Chain A
Amino acid sequence: AQSVSQHNHHVILSEAASLELGCNYSYGGTVNLFWYVQYPGQHLQLLLKYFSGDPLVKGIKGFEAEFIKSKFSFNLRKPSVQWSDTAEYFCAVNAVTNAGKSTFGDGTTLTVKP
């Protein structure tokens, strides 16, 4: 079975600070990896995804993530956060052979102070 672990439950940053949110997964086979964001009162939307190829993927709003296969990690980064990045962030993994089912991490709440 696949599982996802997000290390930080709540992160508080000031505007312009750099962000890195940790995500580790456990699964021995080929996976697709995702980061979703949920802004207050809204539904989840995709930030970025990794399927194959370049392990550094860029998403919307200046976010990027790096897949490190040897560490089973897919950490999310942003060089300079804005107040509007305040949201909950979910890492998700989908085993390629698992009928399209994704396993989500518990989420990380990011609060950016203006």
Chain B
Amino acid sequence: NAGVTQTPKFRVLKTGQSMTLLCAQDMNHEYMYWYRQDPGMGLRLIHYSVGEGTTAKGEVPDGYNVSRLKKQNFLLGLESAAPSQTSVYFCASRDLQGSSYNEQFFGPGTRLTVL
């Protein structure tokens, strides 16, 4: 049971380049989330999904797109990267059953630098 995994762990982009961050979970969770973490600002929600085929905007969605074609995967895309998107990105999934009800499980993070 790997939990939540993220690919890649590190990436450096030039302004205007595009990329996709992959999040995968093997816990059969319905809900999945993408956050960005910036110094002194905690975690801010970018987009989230409450099930396969559904996505919704979070607090800071501009410049990002997401897709949830399979229940276990949640992709975050940057179509045209900007320096303001330099951040650490965390994916999380939420358990809606059992002893870990409503707990979020986080991936290890992706550190993205946009030059």
CA distance A42 to B4 in the complex (A): 13
Q: Which of B33-49 contact A (CB under 8 A)?
A: 33, 35, 40-45, 48
A49 and B103 contact, Cβ closer than 8 Å, known pairs A100-B94, A101-B45, A101-B58: yes
Q: Which of A26-57 contact B (CB under 8 A)?
A: 32, 34, 36, 42-46, 49, 51
Counting contact residues on chain A (CB < 8 A from B), the size range is 20 to 34
Closest chain B CB from A105 CB (angstroms): 6
Closest chain B CB from A112 CB (angstroms): 20
Contact, CB under 8 Å: B104 / A102? yes
Contact, CB under 8 Å: B103 / A100? no
Tally of B interface residues using CB under 8 Å: 25
Contact, CB under 8 Å: B106 / A44? yes
Q: Which of A83-114 contact B (CB under 8 A)?
A: 90, 94, 99-107
Closest chain B CB from A9 CB (angstroms): 7
A99 and B108 contact, Cβ closer than 8 Å, known pairs A49-B102, A51-B102, A105-B42: no
Closest chain B CB from A56 CB (angstroms): 19
20 CB contacts below 8 A, A to B, read: A36-B106, A43-B106, A44-B90, A44-B92, A45-B106, A46-B104, A49-B102, A90-B43, A94-B102, A99-B56, A100-B48, A100-B94, A101-B33, A101-B48, A101-B58, A104-B43, A104-B44, A105-B42, A107-B40, A107-B42
